[in-house]
Structure 1
Amino acid sequence: MQCHQTSFTLSTAGRGPLRLTARVAECVRDSGIHTGLCHVFCQHTSASLLITENADPAVLRDLEGHLTRAVPDGDPRYTHDQEGPDDMSAHIRSILTGSGLTVPIRQGRLALGTWQGLFLWEHRAQGHARTLVVTCFGTAAS
């Protein structure tokens, strides 16, 4: 059994999705793992990770619209607002969508479905630097 871990930092442009599939696939290739698992972890409490539709951008817009309606910025019931009106809503959105993903590795590649893609979702209105840790473990090609 082998394990390979790497991290990288991305700059976001503010609220919304950032495609990660190619960057994580590169980490899998570099790991040398042929069969196993790839785990991606976001080291932040106001951004999250998602696996969702990667072909139709309307899906991403609809997801953002849903989160905006379900968890509005500046809700007067929130007491945590140290960094502005999007502070607590960003934390709630992150909890609802999750900070980690695990994807199977098959034949040295991410075993995603045809229409699946990996995304970092920035929940703050302003852009931030976001660090992700990618851990691949399994067996190498024989």
Structure 2
Amino acid sequence: MDAMTAPLRFAQARHTVTAPHQGLYEITGDIQAWLGAQNVTAGLLTLYLRHTSASLLIQENYDLDVLRDLEDFFAAQAPEDTSLYRHIAEGADDMPAHIKGALTQTHLAIPVCDRALLLGRYQGIFLFEHRRTPRAREIILHVEGQ
């Protein structure tokens, strides 16, 4: 059976991550481990984060200064200053977390080949935790392909 006639398969799971701190936390290994156990050799993996005060990014995972510079940039764009916002129900990091989430994304789509993510050489998948207090974050993993 060639690729044009192979049956379409899919798999779906929920993955919970609690980042150890506010900032970028790499989850590539967890995602790849799950994907490798699926019976899909070529297709598309979709990741969806079910939260509004965190986000998902594909970013460089080689030089950690990139991550620190991104964290500093977002902190400057949305400072944790309660005098700037109306929505402060959960503290100084509440509204800035929502702003950072609005400027980034809650879902990613990544091609898959030979049960592996087709990420670039220095790319990794990151949970970007915008809150100071660690929280359990649920990510839906969905892969479709052959």
TM over 0.5: yes
CA shift for structure 1 position 75: 4.9
Preserved CA contact (<8 Å) 1:12 1:127: yes
Q: Superposed, which structure 2 residues align to 1:65-104 within 5 Å? A: 65-104=72-111
Preserved CA contact (<8 Å) 1:35 1:107: yes
Question: What is the SS of the residue equivalent to 1:33?
Answer: coil
Structure 2 residue 146 is matched with structure 1 residue 111: no
How many Å separate the matches in 2 of 1:114 and 1:47?
25
CA shift for structure 1 position 73: 1.1
Structure 2 residue 56 is matched with structure 1 residue 56: no
CA shift for structure 1 position 26: 1.2
Larger radius of gyration: 2
One of 19, 22, 27 as aligned partner of 2:34? 27
Question: What is the SS of the residue equivalent to 2:91?
Answer: coil
Aligned to 2:133: 126
Equivalenced residues, count: 139
Structure 2 residue 34 is matched with structure 1 residue 17: no
Preserved CA contact (<8 Å) 2:82 2:88: no
CA shift for structure 1 position 6: 0.5
Task: Indicate the RMSD between aligned Cα atoms, in angstroms.
Answer: 1.0
How many Å separate the matches in 1 of 2:42 and 2:138?
25
Q: Superposed, which structure 2 residues align to 1:31-46 within 5 Å? A: 31-46=38-53
| Percent identity for Structure 1 against Structure 2 | 37
Match of 1:24, as an amino acid?
A: I
Is there any run of 5+ residues in structure 1 with no aligned partner, and where? Answer: none
Question: What is the SS of the residue equivalent to 1:23?
Answer: helix
Deviations 1:84-138 (A, max 9, x none): 0110100110111110111000121100000100000100011111111100001
Deviations 1:28-86 (A, max 9, x none): 11221111000111111111000000110000000000000111112533111100011
Bigger CA drift: 25-34 or 83-92?
Answer: 25-34
